[in-house]
C-alpha cells in the first residue's frame, strides 16, 4: 500500500511493521480486545512522530498511540466492531465518531525510550514517552532521587502510556498519581504541530494548564512525546508488613492509625484477598508469609530516611490490641520484602484465572470512607445475580481505589455467568454512581467503559470534553472510539 510504503521510506524498515510482526501490538495484555491496523509505526524521534501524524492527517488515517500496551481498558489497541470479548457489543451508534472501519495505524512509542536528562538540583527528570517506569525509577535512584509512581507492570509500562491513563499504582497514598508527578509535557498535536510545554516549574499560574488535557486523555487529543517528571527524596529505609485483618469495617480506622503513628512514611496500604494470596504462592512456589489468615490481609509499606522498624512494630501492636489485626508478618530481610511485593504484583485475576476475561472487571474509586461499604455492596449484587462467581476485591485502600472483579473461575461456570453479565455490570455501575464513585480510577476509559461511563458525569461535562476534542482533533483521527461516550 502506497501510504505504508511512504512511511517506510521516511522511517526505515525498523520504523514500520506489517503482517505477523504486528500481532503483539493489536491485542491488549488481558486478551480482551483485538483490533486491526494497516501497520505498526515506531518513530525514533519527535520529528519522525510529526512526519507520521502529518501523513495520517493528510490521508485521513486514524492514529492509535501505544506505550507498553499494558493498559487495562483497551485504550492502546485499535477497535474493530464486535471483535472484543469484554466490551459491550458495538451498536454502530457512533454518529459523533469516525466509522469503525476507518483504517488506522498503531503508533508505538517504544523506540523513543531515552532518559533525556536527570536534574537532581531541580528535582526533575526529563524522559521520552517510551521510557519505562522502571527505567525512570532507576535513573532517578542513580542520582539519589526517587520517582514515586510504581506498579507491577513497571518494567513494560511506559511514561507516555502512564500519563495517558493517569496511572496510579501502589504509592499514590504518598506520591500521588501520574498527574501529580508531571511538571511539563511535549506533545505532537493532531495536525502535526509540536507543543513544547517541557517546563520544570512547580508553580505556574499563567493561565490554563494545558498539560492536564493530555493527562488521562488516552491519546485522543495528541501524542505525548516527552515529559518532565517530578522527583522526591530517596527513602533508604523501607519495610513492609502483611497483616491479617478482622474485616473490612475497620479498614479506614487502620489507615488512620497508620497515618497517625507513622506519619508521612506510609507509602502503600493495599488490600489483598487471601484466596489470591494463596494462589500466587502456589503459582510461584512461594512460602506463605502468614500461616493463619482470614479472608483479607493488608500489605503496608513504610519508607523513610530513618529506620522504620520501631514505628511499624508499634503500629501493628496497637492495631492488634484493638482487635483490627489478627496476625502479622514483618519483612526483615530483602528476600522477604521482595516476596511480599511479588505476591502483590501478581494479584490481578488476569494472572491467576484463565476465565478472568469473561468476568466483570472494575477499577472503581469511591470516597475513601466508603471503600469497605462499596466492596460489600458489589459482593451483595454479585451473590444475588451470579452466586457461583468469585467476588474478588483488592487494591489501593490508601486512595479509595478498589479493583473488584466478579468472575467465573471454572469453565463450567462461564456460560451461566455470561447469561447474567450485562445485568451484573449494570447493577454494579448503578451502585458505583450511587456511592459517588468513578468507574475508572487509574485504568482509563478506553474501549471497556465508553458505553458505560456517561451516567457518571453531567451532560455539560461531556459536552465540554467533546468541545475540547473537536478543538484539538477536528478530523477525529486521534484514537477514535475511545474515552468519549458514543
Ligand atoms: C493492580 O493494582 O494490580 C492493577 O491495577 C491490576 C488490576 O486491576 O487487575
Ligand atoms: Zn491498581
pLDDT at 131 over 70: yes
104 three-state secondary structure: strand
Distances (CA, A) of 431 to 27, 234, 373, 380: 30, 40, 11, 11
Q: Whose CA is nearest to atom 9 of ligand 1?
A: 348
Whole-number Å distance, alpha carbon 361 to ligand 2 midpoint, is 12
Paired strand residues for 244:
297, 327
- Ligand 1 neighbour 403 (Cβ under 6 A): yes
Evaluate the CA torsion angle 342, 344, 345, 351 in order and state its sign: positive
- Report residue 86's pLDDT band, with 50, 70 and 90 as the boundaries: very low
Evaluate the CA torsion angle 33, 34, 38, 41 in order and state its sign: positive
Q: Rounded mean pLDDT of the chain? A: 95
Q: Whose CA is nearest to atom 7 of ligand 1?
A: 348
Mean pLDDT confidence for 438-458:
98
Lowest mean pLDDT among 50-54, 293-297, 444-448: 293-297
CA gap 272, 294 in Å, rounded = 11
pLDDT at 473 over 70: yes
- Ligand 1 neighbour 152 (Cβ under 6 A): yes
- Residue 74 gets the label, from left (phi > 0), alpha (psi -120 to 50) or beta, of left
- Ligand 1 neighbour 395 (Cβ under 6 A): yes
Residue 403, phi then psi, degrees to nearest 5? -95, 100
CA gap 431, 451 in Å, rounded = 17
pLDDT of residue 117: 98
Determine how β-strand 182-189 pairs with β-strand 390-396.
unpaired
pLDDT of residue 98: 52
Provide, rounded to the nearest whole percent, the portion of the chain with pLDDT above 70. Answer: 96
167-223 residue pLDDT tens? 999 999 999 999 999 999 999 999 999 999 999 999 999 999 999 999 999 999 999
Mean pLDDT confidence for 334-340:
97
CA gap 215, 178 in Å, rounded = 8
- Report residue 56's pLDDT band, with 50, 70 and 90 as the boundaries: very high
Ligand 1 atom nearest 394 alpha carbon:
2
pLDDT of residue 335: 96
- Report residue 78's pLDDT band, with 50, 70 and 90 as the boundaries: very high
Grid cell in block for residue 314: 508499634
Ligand 1 atom nearest 401 alpha carbon:
2
Ligand 1 atom nearest 396 alpha carbon:
2
- Ligand 1 neighbour 393 (Cβ under 6 A): no
- Report residue 241's pLDDT band, with 50, 70 and 90 as the boundaries: very high
- Report residue 94's pLDDT band, with 50, 70 and 90 as the boundaries: very low
Evaluate the CA torsion angle 194, 215, 151, 380 in order and state its sign: negative
- Report residue 101's pLDDT band, with 50, 70 and 90 as the boundaries: low
Rg, Å, the chain Cα set: 23
Whole-number Å distance, alpha carbon 348 to ligand 1 midpoint, is 5
296-334 residue pLDDT tens? 999 999 999 999 999 999 999 999 999 999 999 999 999
Whole-number Å distance, alpha carbon 169 to ligand 1 midpoint, is 8
- Ligand 1 neighbour 480 (Cβ under 6 A): no
Lowest mean pLDDT among 16-30, 283-297, 359-373: 283-297
User: For the chain, what is the largest distance between any 2 Cα atoms, rounded to a whole number of angstroms?
Assistant: 72
Whole-number Å distance, alpha carbon 394 to ligand 2 midpoint, is 8
Which of 30, 75, 152 to mutate for ligand 1's pocket (most ligand atoms within 8 Å of CB)?
A: 152
Whole-number Å distance, alpha carbon 109 to ligand 2 midpoint, is 23
404 three-state secondary structure: strand
170-184 residue pLDDT tens? 999 999 999 999 999
CA gap 111, 43 in Å, rounded = 7
- Ligand 1 neighbour 348 (Cβ under 6 A): yes
398-424 residue pLDDT tens? 999 999 999 999 999 999 999 999 999
pLDDT at 90 over 70: no
- Report residue 292's pLDDT band, with 50, 70 and 90 as the boundaries: confident
Residues sharing a CB contact under 8 Å with residue 384, sequence separation 6 or more, in sequence order: none
Whole-number Å distance, alpha carbon 274 to ligand 2 midpoint, is 17
Whole-number Å distance, alpha carbon 403 to ligand 2 midpoint, is 7
Ligand 1 atom nearest 345 alpha carbon:
3
366-391 residue pLDDT tens? 999 999 999 999 999 999 999 999 99
Lowest mean pLDDT among 6-15, 291-300, 366-375: 291-300
pLDDT of residue 97: 52
Burial 379-404 (b: 16+ CB within 10 A, else e): bebbeebbeebbbbbbbbbbbbbbbb
Paired strand residues for 361:
405
Whole-number Å distance, alpha carbon 399 to ligand 2 midpoint, is 11
pLDDT of residue 166: 98
Ligand 1 atom nearest 170 alpha carbon:
2
- Ligand 1 neighbour 425 (Cβ under 6 A): no
A 10 A CB-CB count for 95 gives: 6
Amino acid at each position: 500500500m502506497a501510504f505504508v510504503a511512504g512511511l517506510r521510506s521516511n522511517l526505515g524498515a525498523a520504523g514500520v511493521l506489517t503482517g505477523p510482526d504486528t500481532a503483539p501490538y493489536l491485542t491488549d495484555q488481558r486478551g480482551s480486545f483485538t483490533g486491526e491496523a494497516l501497520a505498526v509505526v515506531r518513530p525514533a524521534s519527535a520529528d519522525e512522530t510529526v512526519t507520521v501524524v502529518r501523513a495520517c492527517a493528510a490521508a485521513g488515517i486514524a492514529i492509535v498511540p501505544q506505550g507498553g500496551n499494558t493498559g487495562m481498558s483497551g485504550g492502546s489497541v485499535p477497535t474493530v466492531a464486535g471483535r472484543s470479548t469484554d466490551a459491550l457489543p458495538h451498536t454502530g451508534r457512533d454518529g459523533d465518531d469516525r466509522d469503525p472501519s476507518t483504517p488506522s495505524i498503531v503508533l508505538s512509542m517504544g523506540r523513543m525510550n531515552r532518559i533525556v536528562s536527570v536534574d537532581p538540583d531541580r528535582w526533575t527528570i526529563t524522559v521520552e514517552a517510551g521510557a519505562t517506569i522502571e527505567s525512570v525509577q532507576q535513573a532517578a535512584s542513580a542520582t539519589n532521587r526517587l520517582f514515586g509512581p510504581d506498579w507491577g507492570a513497571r518494567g513494560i509500562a511506559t511514561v507516555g502510556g502512564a500519563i495517558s491513563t493517569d496511572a496510579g499504582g501502589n504509592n499514590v497514598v504518598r506520591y500521588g498519581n501520574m498527574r501529580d508527578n508531571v511538571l511539563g509535557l511535549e506533545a505532537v498535536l493532531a495536525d502535526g504541530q509540536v507543543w513544547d510545554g517541557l517546563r520544570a516549574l512547580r508553580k505556574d499560574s499563567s493561565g490554563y494548564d494545558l498539560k492536564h488535557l493530555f493527562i488521562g486523555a488516552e491519546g485522543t487529543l495528541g501524542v505525548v512525546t516527552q515529559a518532565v517528571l517530578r522527583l522526591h527524596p530517596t527513602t533508604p529505609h523501607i519495610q513492609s508488613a502483611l497483616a491479617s485483618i478482622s474485616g473490612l469495617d475497620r479498614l479506614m480506622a487502620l489507615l488512620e492509625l497508620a497515618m497517625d503513628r507513622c506519619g508521612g512514611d506510609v507509602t502503600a496500604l493495599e488490600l489483598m484477598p487471601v484466596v489470591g494470596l494463596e494462589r500466587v504462592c502456589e503459582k510461584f512456589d512461594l512460602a506463605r508469609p502468614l500461616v493463619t489468615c482470614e479472608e483479607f490481609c493488608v500489605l503496608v509499606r513504610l519508607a523513610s530516611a530513618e529506620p522504620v522498624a520501631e514505628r511499624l512494630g508499634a503500629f501493628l501492636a496497637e492495631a492488634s490490641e484493638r482487635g483490627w489485626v489478627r496476625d502479622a508478618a514483618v519483612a526483615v530481610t530483602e528476600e522477604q520484602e521482595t516476596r511480599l511485593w511479588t505476591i502483590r504484583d501478581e494479584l490481578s485475576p488476569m494472572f491467576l484465572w484463565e476465565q478472568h476475561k469473561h468476568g466483570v472487571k472494575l477499577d472503581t474509586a469511591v470516597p475513601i470512607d466508603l471503600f469497605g461499604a462499596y466492596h460489600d455492596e458489589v459482593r451483595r449484587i454479585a451473590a444475588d445475580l451470579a452466586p457461583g462467581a468469585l467476588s474478588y476485591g483488592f487494591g489501593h485502600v490508601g486512595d479509595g481505589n478498589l479493583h473488584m472483579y466478579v468472575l467465573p473461575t471454572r469453565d463450567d461456570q462461564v456460560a451461566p455467568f455470561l447469561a447474567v453479565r450485562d445485568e451484573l455490570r449494570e447493577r454494579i455501575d448503578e451502585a458505583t454512581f450511587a456511592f459517588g464513585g468513578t468507574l475508572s480510577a487509574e485504568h482509563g476509559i478506553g474501549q471497556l467503559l465508553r458505553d458505560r461511563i456517561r451516567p457518571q458525569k453531567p451532560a455539560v461535562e461531556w459536552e465540554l470534553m467533546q468541545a475540547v476534542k473537536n478543538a484539538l482533533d477536528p478530523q477525529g483521527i486521534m484514537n477514535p472510539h475511545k474515552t468519549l461516550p458514543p
